[in-house]
Every structure is written in structure tokens, then in C-alpha cells.
Amino acid sequence: MAAVFSCPVEASLSIIGGKYKAIILWHLMSGTLRYSELRHLLPQATPKMLTQQLRELEKDAVIHREVYPVVPPKTEYSLTEYGQSLSPIIRAMCDWGSQHMSEQIQAS
């Protein structure tokens, strides 16, 4: 059963509103990454939290998880076509964040 939302912003946040989801998406916009690379790029995220966020994004069909049957295990993540449709939103967040950071530095 599909979720019912009261506004479009709520619908958007249901997908990208997790603590690290937008950051994960930002990094995956550059291309496919292994789990270990994501761990390195998000050192503040615990392994449990990163795994949870990745699973939610995968469940929502935003990212694709590819597991290779090798030892040691190799897992790669990439954006799906649906996930790529979020790129303009993530880029806009980056642009706004850059502007905000500049203003904060100037105000100091």
C-alpha cells in the first residue's frame, strides 16, 4: 500500500529525509561506490546507521545494491534512474548550503 502524503514536501522528505541520505546521494551522483568508500566519505555515520540508510534508499528504489560473490565480500551502490531524478534537488541543496556557509563565514 502506497503512503499517503499531505503535501509534496512531505513526499520528498520521506525519501531523502534521513540523517545521511542526502549526503549518500550526493556522493553517488559522482558514480558507483563500494560500501567501504561510503564509510570513508561519511566517517560520522556509524556502520549500523549507514547500513540502515542504504537499505531504506534501496527499498525506495533510489539506489541499486550489487553484491559480488567474492571473498572478501564486495558490495557496490549506485543511483537508479529514479535516484538520478533526485540530482537537481541534491544539487540545489548543495548550492544553497554553499551560499549559507559563505554567509556564515562573512558574519563571523
pLDDT digit string, tens, across residues 39-88: 999 999 999 999 999 999 999 999 999 999 999 889 999 999 999 999 99
Task: Find out whether 32 and 26 touch, Cβ atoms under 8 Å.
Answer: no
Residue 2 has pLDDT above 80, yes or no: no
Residue 32 has pLDDT above 90, yes or no: yes
pLDDT of res. 5: 87
Q: Mean pLDDT in the chain?
A: 94
* Cell numbers for 10: 512531505
Higher pLDDT, 13 or 107: 13
Residue 1 has pLDDT above 90, yes or no: no
The pTM of this model reads 0.90
| Phi, psi of 106, rounded to the nearest 5 degrees | -65, -30
- For residue 60, the one-letter residue type is D
pLDDT of res. 106: 86
Q: 14-100 architecture in CATH?
A: Orthogonal Bundle (1.10)
Distance, CA of 104 to CA of 17 (rounded, Å): 24
